[in-house]
Chain A
């Protein structure tokens, strides 16, 4: 397995209030697969993604990505892990407003040991003609494409997508999902998507449903369908 999560627990303490975000979570994903974590707001799906991405830490349990056990890593080791292995895609794109499209992608290539060529990625996401534009001059879908290009540019093993279509309309959302599928197929990147949209699970190899920090369902999707065909 590429991702192996065993008995992961996470609790947040805010003053006297204790909030159990993850309870005994088990989850696996094979290399080059697309995984989808489904769940409503506050279910703990973002916490799980953050723990996998090395942005947050688990209180107990183990998280193994490839050959690396990231639970127990210190912050410097986690930085190096994120730098080498993980690409992030955010719901609201989080592009740097005063950098052009091309420069936003360079944010990632700048720190990568084996980056892809910026022009190649921009061509792949269909933004070659927009590379000198600033984010504010692009539509939401175009901005998310830049965000994907930036995440893929450093050629990561794992792409973590936090509600990648959450801020987009139906048509654009399908385009973005198709792009992720294409990346998975052509580059062999393992992709983990979190979403509250059940329909997106159609493109996944594996799906888990999470509620109040617990995995309530987990299945292998035998009837995987291409992004263009999913409906909601």
Chain B
């Protein structure tokens, strides 16, 4: 149809609006495709890996070695495997945790290379190898033995390779895991034993624990549901899945609203042409088909390009996440249904909206259309009731411009709010985590924290002894399965300083609960909590005196002698030491060691990729903001073309015209940004609350003034660029435009 030649020309004429709409669709389809494939692959591969490689349900340590593994397995419907481990120094600052090979529970998945065949071979976790720049075939010394890298592997119980279970962030530069043969372990003459358990569906975990405690003593027990090395991966995948749904759809809806306004405006300028076509004998169907082609073209160019870019970005993004926590990609799933949805969804949203708009136009008679459509004869409520007397002309003009088209004004505000929220999301996360970490550093004053793998009764010559035992809350609490630690501490302590809500130091002669745990258990000062020991399933009651205003850790602190008495342990019992200097403790006595430096380094390591993702979110926010403001500005200029031309004829200077036409947007941008601040605080609060239910953290939402200022500056820059483009457009409007047109 000859009419279709017009499509290209009309789009070229209003290219800013159409290109802007296409860019927004590209962005939303790109994010949709990227996150859909990413989350599908992470999720399915995570499940497959956990199942095929028999991820543990729990691991534990005991006072004496277990000798009857086979009979325990049969009796308690489980798989049980002993595993040796010790922390070797890789270099000055880096720890490599070595494990003996496992073939019943937590079987390693070989990602590259081959399994261990010789005593001098080692398997490494890929993120550690990458961070240390190691390749398969490289060799280096552990103690006085040389090891050669046979391959890279992932252990199902170390998917998020945290050095300590109480760590929050992993850092491959500081910590990694490796597997060496049992013979190599014996030669190194080192290693502490722990047991990995995988229970069948009908297994009785508690009965098993009771049985072990009858002849032995469980000194440490961690269920996989409380194991952050497993839990964090599952939570992260869940949050990515959440993002897959909401963010691209939100961008797409915004785009849909924007494009429908653009199409409606463009159509309005073509009423005379539509009327003429009608009068010439074109059918409604033919006219409808022609105008719908704008929506099809914009949707498909945007969705196909966006989906393609998303597909290209999948691999690097997947590598980034796989490097962050070790989910082996066993099979790549390209998720064809998500790809199809990504290509079709923009059209499915935009075409019906456009249809409605055209349908509305085509209800008019050819004559009405040829006269430029139904003249608006009524004055809007807002326009009618605005009393602008006393204001300067410039301001009256700007206010009238805002009120003239309320949907356009609202879309501009919401667009800026949305882009600003996206921008502030990154800043808010970073600021809040920084605040939380600073709070943690203020509470803990040790340089080294040693946790023994058994209970000691001999006094420590250096440092300050403490105890830490795991307990589960009783009754129907929100997270009944979540374990927390009860610490026995000396009072006063040189290494632990807990503040109350006013920042005053609490006396450690009392029983104190941390804020995250108090929130989780809904406990107030003076309440008594009922708990069960994770080690022997015995029940206890603990009266809480005070709540400490710290943001990390779910713990209860009480005087060490009080805890020993409660647990019926001999006086002086402890299982950990805090110290401000490095202590010489045999590694086979230790469950783990944490240094303050490790914590700080892992925090830095966690912040670095976060800064990268904040950067990319900020870039997307910048682009969205830019496109929305640019499209809206272009629309305002297009609609005011004749007014601008007339102002030029009257002798208005360029600067005065910019000020009249473009400055009304300044107010909207400021309003949009101002709205985004409380909204993002509310949204982050909700996000953090849900996060604190699954992790041992209580995130306070914090924004530094600088973040808000920087966010505002970025939004202003996007606005500045759009304004600059707008000025160019205005300067290109000819004076003669007004002499040829009829405005009202």
B735 CB contacts on chain A under 8 angstroms: 55-56
B642 CB contacts on chain A under 8 angstroms: 94
Interface bits B699-737 vs A (CB < 8 Å: 1, else 0): 000000000000000000000000000000000000110
CA distance A137 to B298 in the complex (A): 38
Would you call A35 an interface residue if the criterion is a C-beta within 8 Å of the partner chain's C-beta atoms? no
Which single member of B376, B383, B652, B744 contacts A111 (CB below 8 Å)? B652
Q: Which of B244-252, B391-399, B460-468 is found at the contact surface with chain A?
A: B391-399
B738 touches A110 (CB 8 A): no
B743 touches A95 (CB 8 A): yes
Which single member of B383, B397, B651, B738 contacts A134 (CB below 8 Å)? B383
B652 CB contacts on chain A under 8 angstroms: 79, 83, 111
B401 touches A88 (CB 8 A): no
Interface bits B670-690 vs A (CB < 8 Å: 1, else 0): 000000000000000000000
Which single member of A76, A99, A167 contacts B400 (CB below 8 Å)? A99
- Distance in Å from the Cβ of B601 to the closest Cβ of chain A? 61
Would you call B656 an interface residue if the criterion is a C-beta within 8 Å of the partner chain's C-beta atoms? yes
Q: Report whether over half of chain B's contact residues are helix, strand or loop; otherwise say mixed.
A: helix
Interface bits A65-96 vs B (CB < 8 Å: 1, else 0): 00000000000100111111010101111111
B393 touches A103 (CB 8 A): yes
A56 CB contacts on chain B under 8 angstroms: 735-736
B376, closest chain A residue (CB)? A136
Which single member of A97, A108, A110, A111 contacts B743 (CB below 8 Å)? A97
B643 touches A96 (CB 8 A): yes
A110 touches B394 (CB 8 A): yes
- Interface residue ranges of A26-40 to B (CB < 8 Å): none
CA distance A83 to B653 in the complex (A): 9
A95 CB contacts on chain B under 8 angstroms: 743-744
B379, closest chain A residue (CB)? A134
Would you call A44 an interface residue if the criterion is a C-beta within 8 Å of the partner chain's C-beta atoms? no
CA distance A182 to B617 in the complex (A): 66
B643, closest chain A residue (CB)? A96
B11 CB contacts on chain A under 8 angstroms: none
A162 touches B651 (CB 8 A): no
CA distance A80 to B653 in the complex (A): 8
- Interface residue ranges of B363-392 to A (CB < 8 Å): 375-377, 379, 383, 388
Which single member of B375, B656, B736 contacts A50 (CB below 8 Å)? B736
Which single member of A90, A111, A135 contacts B739 (CB below 8 Å)? A90
Would you call A60 an interface residue if the criterion is a C-beta within 8 Å of the partner chain's C-beta atoms? no
- Total interface residues on A, CB under 8 Å, equals 38
Would you call A186 an interface residue if the criterion is a C-beta within 8 Å of the partner chain's C-beta atoms? no
A46 touches B744 (CB 8 A): no
Residue with the highest number of chain B CB atoms closer than 10 Å, among A82, A84, A162: A82
A106 touches B396 (CB 8 A): yes
A80 CB contacts on chain B under 8 angstroms: 651
Residue with the highest number of chain B CB atoms closer than 10 Å, among A76, A97, A106: A97
A92 touches B742 (CB 8 A): yes
CA distance A56 to B738 in the complex (A): 12
- Distance in Å from the Cβ of B281 to the closest Cβ of chain A? 29
A99 touches B397 (CB 8 A): yes
A213 CB contacts on chain B under 8 angstroms: none
B397 touches A103 (CB 8 A): yes
Which single member of B396, B397, B656, B744 contacts A97 (CB below 8 Å)? B744
Would you call B362 an interface residue if the criterion is a C-beta within 8 Å of the partner chain's C-beta atoms? no
Which single member of B377, B651, B738, B742 contacts A82 (CB below 8 Å)? B651
Residue with the highest number of chain B CB atoms closer than 10 Å, among A79, A98, A108, A110: A98
B738 touches A84 (CB 8 A): no
CA distance A138 to B640 in the complex (A): 21
- Distance in Å from the Cβ of A32 to the closest Cβ of chain B? 22
Would you call A143 an interface residue if the criterion is a C-beta within 8 Å of the partner chain's C-beta atoms? yes
B653 touches A162 (CB 8 A): no
B738 touches A94 (CB 8 A): yes
Given contacts A95-B743, A136-B744, A143-B744, contact A111 B396 (CB under 8 A): no
A103 touches B400 (CB 8 A): yes
A134 CB contacts on chain B under 8 angstroms: 379, 383
A46 CB contacts on chain B under 8 angstroms: 739
CA distance A147 to B290 in the complex (A): 39
A107 touches B647 (CB 8 A): yes
CA distance A161 to B400 in the complex (A): 28
Would you call A53 an interface residue if the criterion is a C-beta within 8 Å of the partner chain's C-beta atoms? yes
A88 touches B650 (CB 8 A): yes
CA distance A80 to B225 in the complex (A): 78
CA distance A95 to B647 in the complex (A): 11
A81, closest chain B residue (CB)? B651
B649 touches A82 (CB 8 A): yes
A84 CB contacts on chain B under 8 angstroms: 651
- Interface residue ranges of A95-131 to B (CB < 8 Å): 95-99, 103, 106-111
B739 touches A55 (CB 8 A): yes
- Interface residue ranges of A15-69 to B (CB < 8 Å): 46, 50, 53, 55-56
B651, closest chain A residue (CB)? A83
CA distance A81 to B643 in the complex (A): 19
CA distance A162 to B742 in the complex (A): 12
B742 CB contacts on chain A under 8 angstroms: 91-92, 94, 167
- Distance in Å from the Cβ of B368 to the closest Cβ of chain A? 16
B649 touches A55 (CB 8 A): yes
CA distance A107 to B651 in the complex (A): 11
Interface bits A171-215 vs B (CB < 8 Å: 1, else 0): 000000000000000000000000000000000000000000000
B640, closest chain A residue (CB)? A96
B393 touches A106 (CB 8 A): yes
CA distance A97 to B401 in the complex (A): 10
Would you call B345 an interface residue if the criterion is a C-beta within 8 Å of the partner chain's C-beta atoms? no
Given contacts A98-B383, A103-B400, A143-B744, contact A55 B653 (CB under 8 A): no
A108 CB contacts on chain B under 8 angstroms: 650
CA distance A86 to B643 in the complex (A): 17
B396 CB contacts on chain A under 8 angstroms: 99, 103, 106
CA distance A91 to B735 in the complex (A): 16
A93 touches B744 (CB 8 A): yes
Which single member of A88, A93, A97 contacts B649 (CB below 8 Å)? A88
B651 touches A92 (CB 8 A): no
- Interface residue ranges of B535-582 to A (CB < 8 Å): none
A53 CB contacts on chain B under 8 angstroms: 649
Would you call B187 an interface residue if the criterion is a C-beta within 8 Å of the partner chain's C-beta atoms? no
B400 CB contacts on chain A under 8 angstroms: 98-99, 103
- Distance in Å from the Cβ of B456 to the closest Cβ of chain A? 82
Given contacts A99-B397, A103-B397, contact A111 B736 (CB under 8 A): no
CA distance A110 to B744 in the complex (A): 22
Would you call B257 an interface residue if the criterion is a C-beta within 8 Å of the partner chain's C-beta atoms? no
- Distance in Å from the Cβ of A7 to the closest Cβ of chain B? 23
A134, closest chain B residue (CB)? B379
B743 touches A94 (CB 8 A): yes
A46, closest chain B residue (CB)? B739
A143 CB contacts on chain B under 8 angstroms: 744
- Distance in Å from the Cβ of B409 to the closest Cβ of chain A? 12
Which single member of B394, B404, B646, B656 contacts A98 (CB below 8 Å)? B404
- Distance in Å from the Cβ of A110 to the closest Cβ of chain B? 4
CA distance A35 to B383 in the complex (A): 40
CA distance A143 to B742 in the complex (A): 12
Would you call B403 an interface residue if the criterion is a C-beta within 8 Å of the partner chain's C-beta atoms? yes
A136 CB contacts on chain B under 8 angstroms: 375-377, 379, 744
- Distance in Å from the Cβ of A47 to the closest Cβ of chain B? 10
B387, closest chain A residue (CB)? A132
Which single member of B643, B646, B739 contacts A162 (CB below 8 Å)? B739
A135 CB contacts on chain B under 8 angstroms: 744
A83 touches B375 (CB 8 A): no
14 contacts between A and B (CB under 8 A): A55-B735, A79-B653, A80-B651, A82-B650, A88-B650, A92-B742, A92-B743, A94-B738, A94-B743, A97-B404, A97-B744, A98-B401, A103-B400, A111-B656
A contact residues vs B (CB 8 Å cutoff):
46, 50, 53, 55-56, 76, 79-84, 86, 88, 90-99, 103, 106-111, 134-137, 143, 162, 167
> 8 closest Cβ contacts across the A-B interface?
A83-B651, A92-B742, A82-B651, A98-B404, A110-B393, A135-B744, A106-B393, A55-B735
